[in-house]
Structure 1
Amino acid sequence: MKLVLCWHMHQPEYRDLQTGEFKLPWTYLHVIKDYVDMVAHLEAVPTAKAVVNFAPILLEQIEEYAKQVNSYLHDRVTMTDPLLAALVDVSIPANSEARLKLIRDCLRANRERQIDRYPAYKKLAEMAEWLELHYDALMYVNSQFLSDFLVWYHLAWMGETVKLSDSRVKSLIEKGTGYSLHDRIEIVEIIGDLLANVICRYKVLVKKGQLELSVTPYAHPIMPLLLDLQTTQEAMPNALMPELAAYPGGEERVAYHLEKGVQVFKRFFGFKPKGCWPSEGGISAQTLKVLGDFGFEWTASGGSVLRNSLHLPENTVPACIHYPFKLKKTAIACFFRDDGLSDLIGFQYSKWHADDAVADFIRHLETIAATQPADAVVSVIMDGENAWEYFPENGYHFLSALYKNLSQHPAIELATFSECLKAKAVVKPLAKLVAGSWVYGTFSTWIGDSDKNRGWDMLGEAKAAFDQAVAGKCLSPKQLKAAEIQLAVCEGSDWFWWFGDYNPGEAVSNFEKHFRLNLANLYRLLGEQPPSYLALSFTQGSGAPAMGGAMRPGVEL
């Protein structure tokens, strides 16, 4: 039985494209923790195989970080990420508010797995939490406290394979306190090395035949919603809809994201990918046709999408998800995620001993192999970056055992999606599809809530202004290119993901501020004054979802 492990890597555009400042640090932090660890696990087991999907806008940000760190190390050019810049700043923030922000930034890590693991970092965190409650004491915070706090924050975010192999990291962890400017610059050097080499390491595994790389539309939009907002109601007939009846020019925008996404992918990897993981596994009949017409051989989505579709009277195929399917009148094979297996990794196994978790995972696979035809293909597709901070040692023991045991299993063959198709995997027919995503099989994470709908209405108004500027030929070629990229960023899925009161307050605030900034920047590029409502917050969060809300299960619990 073939098993495909597909890891999706993506971060939205965190830069203010008009100033170049990174508003949030998650891209470089996930590079040094997750992207390097994920490739290292494959390097350690040469007989293992996987599919890795990169969002193009993530690749561009990794490149920009690598350039900036290199410029700092060689010419002391200031980096535009405030947290990285603070790491090597020789001065302490002058006012209490700036100090408090920096302290809070250094607490944005998993308390159990990243902070409490290190006694020195835990002590600093406890002092920081006391300072949060005693604002007047911030004036007494000295540079050594902030230096040590910044160092430990970045050490905690280092990947486990880095901690085990880099003598510089080992030495800094052992030192524990009293970090100097030299120590802080050394951390930037380590970060620079990781940023500069991570993409090349994935390319090497492609050449070895161990890895298949796929792409996502450029800025990670939900394609079915750009093409037709009304597909929301295929899986949610009673969903509350935005005032916007349809996203204007959606087909052209989807084509833009696909064309630019492949262009960026080819610049980094040198070839056109055979597969496309549509943002959040979001598909519809029209989306599958567009992807097939674009030349992709395979795509994938959530198991709940297939289950919803198999309930339709038009579909008479057996209710088994462990095959690729091809929708009538389309030219692309679509694999469907085993939600149960994928969610065990994403939401359960972090609480288990690694050996027990891997044994349980393999038992589930053996059961499938014993009950399904020999030509079945099991697809485990999940977030490749956000799960691991909940595992001990960033999932090191789990992933090491997983690849080792799977690659040696006599009844399970690790494969890639393209290899499955090349080996003439049975592709089942599908007469009709219910549009949806890998989250619950619906689009409820991005539309149907009053705050999410408000976001769509704001985006639709900005798109109408863009169309008017283009029709009036008000923009030079350079201005048009900048406006197209800014619009693409506004169309990204992540902003809508976080809108809604069931999400954590800090995350909602960060993402909705950035969404409003992106829209305001677009209006300015068009030569217009941004609408006054963009100065006001329109959504707040107060929830505490599982895993901080950065991941969601495939099946609604």
Structure 2
Amino acid sequence: MVQRRKLQLILCWHMHQPDYRHALTQRFEMPWTYLHALKDYTDMAAHLERHPDMSAVVNLVPSLVDQLDDYARQYAAGVWHDPLLQWLQSAHLDDLSGTDRQRLIDACLRCHAPKMIDPFPPYRLLRDWVQRMKQDEVEPGLYVSGQFLADLLVWYHLAWLGESVRRSEPLVARLMTQGKGFTLEDRHELNALIGTLLTQILPRYRALQATGRVELSTTPAYHPIMPLLLDFNAAREAVPHLALPMSPAYPGGAARAVAQVREAQASYQTHFEQSARGVWPGEGALSTESLDILADQGFRWTASSETVLANSLRLSWGQTVPEKSAWLYQPYLHTSKHGSILCYFRDDRLSDRIGFDYAQWESGAAAQDFVAQLEAIYHAGPATHDQVVTVILDGENAWEYYPYNGFYFLDHLYQLLTEHAFIRTTTFAAHSAKVTRAAPLNQMVAGSWVYGSLTTWMGDAYKNAAWDLLVKAKECYDHRVATLSATQQVLATRQLSVCEGSDWFWWFGDYNNADSVRTFDELYRLNLTNLYLLMGVEPPTLLSHPLSQGARGHEAGGAMRRTSY
């Protein structure tokens, strides 16, 4: 009997947060790691637990994993390094300074209001009071009571809980029904639940991987753009006339790229007691040189964007590439001097439909449309062999734009996929283990999952200025590191890794939201300042001045970017 071909689907959820900790105090400067953990990492685990026949890949960046460890230690010790959690526990909200009151109020309204404030009348009322006071040019922090602040803190954290948590935890239902007048005991109970949820996240994903149907992958430790660490000119491979930083190169970039990759593998082995078989590079950014490094370090697979593949095939073939069904839905093999690695490339349009479009649809219709798109690929494909469709996107940033944090969409989608006649969900590890032949990919045009280029991190005057500041700091590091003690070297090197992360460069530029640009500008300059201080060097005065202002809003708050339109 002839077996019908199948359509293999690899669905990869990328979970990442930059390191928000102050290097000298270990205080968390921003709360996004634990908030996304409560809302998104819990829900994404719950959906995979709820659908035992569903296979998927979850990419956990080491900088995120390390911060989750940090929060678990805080709860074990009963000492919190995050201001919001300190305030949630505080018995003295009435005694906060006017500045801290205003910081608390601003922090507790920082979310996507249409889906996270407006559905909850008591929370909406608190927000409306604050807005009315501001409209009357009254500073809310000067007038609101400690009880107002307590209610705002509780509602903010309730809004940031995953839908799976709201449906399963009696405490959450009680607090949401109560609505106001939350006591210190209420806040302590909520904080205890938060601690339980945070400490369970990594064990839950370990357990999912142990089932064999979920693969956990990694990323170079602090999410750098590897092609730019290796060569600034890589940015011109996709955009030939792009403006570059004044500095000709990042000093010792190849060694730093290898160090970030090795640290990622070491972190993975510590947390998951095995080696990672695959790596999602920061922002899906790859070049020929970075592929060589990943192959040489023993990874079995990596992935990027269909636009990167199209640019690379155009270079190799010397002609325009045909319709993507002829070349996208298969892995490619890159061979280096010391190894080889399979490269998968995501379907940008399908990935963007989940990331941007389906949030506006009815959940069941959105899931059915996604499956219909897969069926169309299947029917247009070859009759002789299975194709593999790769869909990769953020595992956290899309869901606050969906009703109920995407609960119904993901539930419908996973149900349809697991019951489908010819679509089979799989993982990179499982699929790559069965690959016996793959088309060669000798040259990669450097690019990322954003526009197929590196322009999100280099080319803009502000981004280039940020790179020049990092180059100066690295030159100082190279000069000073041998004079530091062993402990100082570890701390300074870790801080250098943080500064090499992609997120800081992402946000520079006038096309981004001003508040987000201001925040990440401050964090980047703080990180560089702390690097100099850890080396015993006076920081340059330039680090006291903002680099970029930002100007306008961006789709999905600017945290994600489309590739397809």
Shift of the alpha carbon at 1:129?
A: 1.5
Measure, in 2, the Cα distance between the counterparts of 1:480 and 1:421. Answer: 39
Residue of 29, 35, 39 corresponding to 2:35:
29
Inter-partner Cα distance in structure 2 for 1:67 and 1:132: 38
Looking at structure 2, the residues matched to 327 and 275 of structure 1 have their Cα atoms a distance apart, in angstroms, of 14
- Alignment counterpart, residue 516 of structure 2, candidates 507, 510, 524: 507
Q: Label 1:136 to 1:8 Cα distance change in 2 as closer, same or farther (>3 A).
A: closer
Contact 1:309-1:315 within 8 A present in 2 as well: no
Of residues 387, 401, 407, the one that matches 1:396 is 407
Match of 1:321 among 310, 328, 333: 328
What is the Cα deviation at residue 136 of structure 1? 4.7
User: 2:503 corresponds to which residue?
Assistant: 494
Q: Separation in 2 of the partners of 1:429 and 1:536?
A: 48
Residue in structure 1 matched with residue 109 of structure 2 by the alignment? 107
Query: In the alignment, which residue of structure 1 is the partner of 2:25?
Result: 19
Q: SS of 1:168's equivalent?
A: helix
SS of residue in 1 equivalent to 2:302: strand
The TM-score with structure 1 as length reference comes to 0.96
1:191-238 CA-to-partner distances (Å, cap 9, x unmatched) read: 111111111111111111120010000111000100111100000101
Supply the distance in 1 between the matched residues of 2:138 and 2:417 (Cα, whole angstroms): 53
Gap change, CA 1:325 and 1:91, over 3 Å in 2: same
1: CA distance between counterparts of 2:139 and 2:275?
57
Residue of structure 1 equivalent to 2:3: none
Structure 1 residues 446-461: aligned runs within 5 Å: 446-461=457-472
Query: 1:414 is matched with which residue: 417, 425, 434?
Result: 425
Residue 285 (structure 2) aligned to one of 282, 289, 313: 282
1:57 corresponds, among 45, 52, 63, to 63
Which of the numbers 521, 534, 546 marks the counterpart of 1:525? 534
Q: 2:217 aligned with 1:214, yes or no?
A: yes
- How far the C-alpha of 1:135 sits from its partner, in A, is 2.8
| Matched position secondary structure for 1:212 | strand
* 8 A Cα contact 2:513 2:550, kept in partner: yes
Structure 1: gaps spanning 5 or more residues: none
Task: Provide the residue aligned with 2:88 in structure 1.
Answer: 87
Amino acid at match of 2:20: Y
Counterparts of 2:18 and 2:81, CA distance in 1: 17
Partner of 2:317, secondary structure, is coil
Give distance in 1, aligned partners of 2:441 and 2:270: 35
1:126 to 125, 128, 132: 128
- Name segments (4+ residues, structure 1) moved above 3 Å: 313-319, 327-330
In structure 2, give the amino acid aligned to 1:61. Q
Contact 2:316 / 2:443 at 8 angstroms: preserved in 1?
Answer: no
* Alpha-carbon distance in 2 for matches of 1:231, 1:263: 28
Deviation at 1:315, TM superposition (A): 6.3
Q: Secondary structure at the match of 1:4?
A: strand
SS of residue paired to 2:357: helix
| Separation in structure 2 between the aligned mates of residue 132 and residue 209 of structure 1, nearest angstrom | 53
| CA distance in 2 between partners of 1:426 and 1:145 (Å) | 64
1:327-476 to structure 2, matched below 5 A, reads 327=334, 329=336, 331-373=340-382, 374-424=385-435, 426-470=437-481, 473-476=482-485
Give the distance between the partners of 1:89 and 1:451, measured in 2 at CA.
40
| Gap change, CA 1:87 and 1:411, over 3 Å in 2 | same
The structure-2 alpha-carbon separation of the partners of 1:245 and 1:362, relative to structure 1 and needing over 3 Å to count, comes to same
CA distance in 1, matches of 2:121, 2:202: 33
| Change in CA separation of 1:136 and 1:25 when aligned onto 2, cut-off 3 Å | closer
Give 1:314 deviation, angstroms: 3.4
Match for residue 491 of structure 2?
482
Shift of 1:265: 1.4
**TM-aligned CA deviation for residue 244 of structure 1:** 1.1
Shift of 1:308: 1.3
The whole-number CA distance in structure 2 between the counterparts of 1:416 and 1:315 is 33
Distance in 2 between residues matched to 1:40 and 1:129, nearest whole Å:
36
Query: SS at the partner of 2:127?
Result: helix
Say if 2:305 and 2:449, in contact at 8 Å, map to a contact too.
yes
Aligned-residue offset at 1:263: 0.9
Unaligned runs of 5+ in 2: 1-6
Partner of 1:542: 551
- 1:311 is displaced (CA, Å) by 1.8
Q: Is the Cα–Cα contact under 8 Å of residues 224 and 502 in structure 2 kept in the other structure? A: yes
Kindly indicate whether the alpha-carbon contact (under 8 Å) linking 2:118 and 2:124 is maintained by their aligned counterparts in 1.
yes
Q: Percent identity?
A: 46
- Offset of 1:421 from its aligned partner? 1.4
Shift of residue 66, structure 1, vs aligned partner: 1.3
Alignment of 1:207-246 (within 5 A): 207-246=210-249
**Alignment counterpart, residue 252 of structure 1, candidates 245, 252, 255:** 255
CA contact (8 A) 1:66 1:196 kept: yes
8 Å contact from structure 2 (residues 295, 335) kept in 1? no
Displacement, 1:435?
0.7
Aligned AA for 1:167?
A: P
Q: C-alpha distance in 2, partners of 1:519/1:554?
A: 31
Q: CA deviation at 1:70?
A: 2.6
CA contact (8 A) 2:15 2:395 kept: yes
Amino acid at match of 2:180: T
Cα pair 1:324 1:426 within 8 Å, conserved: no
Residues in 1 aligned to 2:207 and 2:96: alpha-carbon distance in whole angstroms: 46
CA distance in 2, matches of 1:351, 1:512: 32
- Alpha-carbon distance in structure 2 between the residues aligned to 1:425 and 1:110: 46
- Contact (CA 8 Å) 2:26, 2:81: kept in 1 or not? yes
Q: Indicate the SS of the match to 1:299.
A: strand
SS in 2 for 1:155: helix
Cα separation, partners in 2 of 1:426 and 1:171, compared to 1, 3 Å: farther
Question: Given residue 68 of structure 1, which amino acid in structure 2 is its aligned partner?
Answer: Q
| CA separation of 1:357 and 1:425: change in aligned 2, threshold 3 A | farther
Moved more, 60-69 or 383-392: 60-69
Per-residue CA deviations over 1:297-319 (Å, capped at 9, x if unaligned) read 00000111011122225368874
Partners of 1:71 and 1:95 lie apart in 2 by 27
1:62 & 1:312 partners in 2: Cα distance?
A: 42
Work out the CA distance in 1 between the residues paired with 2:316 and 2:16. 36
